[in-house]
């Protein structure tokens, strides 16, 4: 496997130094050569005279000529030793420059190429491969969950894992292939293949995925990782346009394919497809739109009624986010919440929506509750409870009217932290609902130990309750269990009268669904409440704050 790419600027630097050294060396050589010529010219007459003088055949030679000859010999010896010293110095300098160059082009941990040297090497490999009628494929390798190895076992163990994997990859790649560590847990490779035989690259990459997943022995530990690999190669009809070099284009595309491999469940390989680039562009536009939307107030709360299914009395509303996008129209949260979460903006969005919802709900009758959904990511924040209480205080909204809906997945990640957070909120009067119940893996003990006020039976069970005997039995079982645990229940997704009738026979429930109405914006809620006498102005006296807001304010102060 080749490890030495051509590098323009570095090789130019080496050539300059070499020429400088050569010029200096030439002066020394010139002096030595003149001294030799002088020696040949004068030595021819002075030396025989000297020999004859020593044999006593003739008189003493001219002392000046003899001195000149001795000086001449000294200059030759000096020139020769200087020439030898300079040659040695030059060789050493070339060696250290080569070493510096190698270090600049090499990843110090694995000895593979680095990002700087990989790109020009890919371009050079492509030129060479095409000369032989072959194509080049570039693969981008990202290790899955490598961060946890670093976090749990330290960087030294992490380095050992990286080195082991680099060696495994190097063994699997053909002799003329390139291997680089681009940084962190990201590797890249490039290999040539006959254009009609993509399976050749498939086979190599598949072996790399399998090799990465083999256990790694580190001291007395056995560690396991896996790799997601994206591969891209040129095909004439989709040659991308733009200023990127061929290598850059392939790396960019391999990167897109690698993210796709991650999305599809990791530990796999994925070839680049043009549709992925479109999807990525769309995703980029969506993210830009979301950022703009957050800045300009395009995210607004909608409200879905929650009623007592026995009496049809309106009890409150669940707030559901909507994005009024100028380009896309009204967008539902299933589309944008996961993206906002990945962008790390869920807290900002949630705070903005809650602030709007508190202001809206203050115009409703104080007996009406407000339920809000929170993301599992928000619950990872140890200050979450304090932040919510701070918002409540800032917007003068009573904690007792607020219900927080969390999903089962939020509970599993760190039950201890979630339990503390929920207990903190509950102590201040906020109610906690376990949303989408039945779709996750909550254990009975969690249901008993975590401080829930309510369980919300997932829409998927309610929807088919009419036609699916199993679902009816399941809902019946969930209701009995809720009653056993003294946890009131909510049924979501009540779409018609028939479902409502069945549910009414099953027990006392709170309910919501399109049967009562679709989620609607704040002004429509006011229109709905006004004729029912359920506006704040219809209440006997303003009860917008808890009787004694002091403890709440003090508690929320802690978050600063």
* Interface with ligand C2E (CB under 6 A): 304, 320-321, 332-334, 337, 350, 353, 373-375, 405, 435-436, 459, 492-495, 513-514, 519
**Least distance between Ca ion and beta carbon 456 (Å):** 6
Which window, 73-81, 211-219, 351-359, 367-375, contacts Ca ion (CB under 5 A)? 367-375
Indicate the residue among 192 and 375 with the shorter CB distance to ligand C2E: 375
Indicate the residue among 55 and 467 with the shorter CB distance to ligand C2E: 467
- Could you give the angle at the alpha carbon of 179 between the alpha carbons of 178 and 183, nearest 5°? 140
**Least distance between ligand C2E and beta carbon 454 (Å):** 13
d(Cα 46, Cα 53) in Å, to the nearest integer? 10
Indicate the residue among 61 and 293 with the shorter CB distance to ligand C2E: 293
Indicate the residue among 313 and 348 with the shorter CB distance to ligand C2E: 348
Q: Which residue is nearest to ligand C2E (CB)?
A: 513
Going through 369-419 in order, the beta strands assigned E by DSSP cover 369-373, 402-406
d(Cα 403, Cα 480) in Å, to the nearest integer? 23
**Least distance between ligand C2E and beta carbon 336 (Å):** 9
Going through 210-341 in order, the beta strands assigned E by DSSP cover 216-218, 221-223, 226-233, 269-271, 299-308, 314-325, 329-331
Which window, 244-252, 405-413, 423-431, 532-540, contacts Ca ion (CB under 5 A)? 405-413
Residue identified by tokens 């006011």 is 526
**Least distance between ligand C2E and beta carbon 438 (Å):** 12
Which window, 85-93, 211-219, 429-437, 507-515, contacts Ca ion (CB under 5 A)? 429-437
Indicate the residue among 8 and 334 with the shorter CB distance to ligand C2E: 334
**Least distance between ligand C2E and beta carbon 289 (Å):** 17
Closest CA to 387 of 355, 434, 431: 355
Residue 135 touches which of ligand C2E, Ca ion, none (Cβ within 5-8 Å per kind):
none
8 Å CB contact between 104 and 10? yes
What is the total residue count of the chain?
Answer: 560
Neighbours of 160 (CB within 10 A): 19
**Least distance between ligand C2E and beta carbon 233 (Å):** 40
Q: What is the DSSP string of 475-489?
A: HHHHHHHHHHTT--E
Indicate the residue among 282 and 514 with the shorter CB distance to ligand C2E: 514
Closest CA to 190 of 122, 128, 144, 277: 122
**Least distance between ligand C2E and beta carbon 339 (Å):** 12
* Of the residues 126, 205, 350, 373, which one makes contact with Ca ion according to CB under 5 A: 373
Phi, psi for 306 (deg, rounded to 5): -125, 125
Q: Please give the distance of CA 521 from its chain centroid, rounded to a whole number.
A: 35
Give every CB contact of residue 440 below 8 A, 6+ residues apart in sequence.
Answer: 407, 408, 409, 411, 412
Q: Which residues contact Ca ion (rule: CB under 5 A)?
A: 373, 405, 435-436
């Amino acid at each position: 496997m080749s490890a030495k790419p051509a590098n323009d600027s570095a090789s130019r630097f080496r050539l300059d130094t070499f020429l400088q050294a050569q010029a200096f060396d030439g002066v020394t050589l010139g002096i030595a050569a003149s001294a030799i010529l002088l020696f040949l010219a004068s030595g021819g007459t002075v030396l025989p005279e000297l020999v004859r003088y020593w044999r006593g055949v003739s008189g003493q030679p001219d002392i000046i000529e003899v001195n000149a000859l001795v000086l001449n010999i000294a200059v030759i010896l000096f020139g020769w030793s200087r020439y030898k010293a300079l040659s040695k110095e030059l060789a050493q300098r070339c060696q250290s420059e080569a070493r510096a160059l190698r270090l600049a082009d090499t990843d110090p941990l694995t000895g593979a190429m680095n990002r700087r040297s990989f790109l020009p090497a890919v371009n050079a490999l492509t030129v060479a491969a095409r000369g032989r009628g072959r194509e080049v494929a570039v693969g981008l390798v990202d290790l899955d969950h490598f961060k946890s190895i670093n976090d749990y076992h330290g960087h030294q163990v992490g380095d050992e894992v990286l080195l082991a994997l680099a060696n495994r990859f190097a063994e699997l790649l053909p002799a003329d292939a390139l291997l680089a560590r681009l940084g962190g847990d990201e590797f890249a490779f490039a290999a040539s293949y006959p254009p009609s035989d993509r399976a050749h690259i498939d086979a190599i990459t598949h072996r790399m995925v399998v090799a990465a997943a083999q256990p790694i022995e580190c001291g007395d530990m056995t560690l396991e990782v896996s790799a997601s690999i994206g591969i891209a190669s040129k095909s004439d009809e989709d040659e991308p346009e733009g200023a990127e070099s061929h290598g850059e284009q392939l790396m960019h595309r391999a990167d897109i394919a690698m993210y796709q491999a991650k999305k599809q469940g990791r530990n796999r390989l994925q070839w680049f497809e043009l549709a992925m680039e479109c999807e990525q562009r769309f995703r980029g536009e969506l993210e830009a739109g979301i950022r703009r939307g957050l800045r300009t107030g395009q995210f607004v709360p909608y409200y879905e009624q929650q009623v007592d299914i026995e009496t049809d009395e309106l009890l409150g509303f669940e707030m559901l986010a909507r994005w009024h996008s100028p380009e896309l129209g009204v967008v539902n949260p299933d589309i944008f919440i996961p993206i906002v979460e990945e962008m790390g903006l869920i807290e900002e969005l949630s705070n903005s929506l809650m602030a709007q919802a508190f202001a809206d709900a203050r115009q409703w009758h104080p007996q009406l509750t407000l339920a809000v959904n929170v993301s599992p990511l928000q619950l990872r924040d140890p200050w979450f409870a304090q932040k919510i209480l701070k918002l409540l205080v800032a917007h003068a909204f009573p904690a007792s009217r607020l219900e927080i809906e969390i999903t089962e997945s939020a509970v599993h990640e760190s039950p201890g932290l979630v339990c503390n957070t929920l207990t903190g909120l509950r102590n201040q009067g906020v109610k906690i609902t376990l949303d989408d119940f039945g779709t996750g893996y909550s254990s009975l003990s969690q249901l008993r130990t975590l401080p829930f006020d309510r369980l919300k039976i997932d829409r998927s069970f309610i929807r088919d309750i009419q036609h699916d005997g199993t679902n009816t039995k399941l809902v019946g079982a969930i209701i009995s269990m809720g009653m056993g645990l003294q946890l009131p229940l909510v049924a979501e997704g009540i779409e018609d009268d028939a479902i409502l009738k069945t549910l009414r026979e099953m027990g006392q429930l709170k309910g919501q669904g399109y049967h009562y109405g679709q989620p609607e914006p704040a002004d429509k809620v006011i229109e709905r409440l006004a004729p029912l006498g359920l506006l704040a102005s219809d209440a006997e006296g303003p009860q917008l704050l808890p009787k004694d807001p002091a403890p709440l304010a003090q508690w929320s102060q802690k978050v600063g």
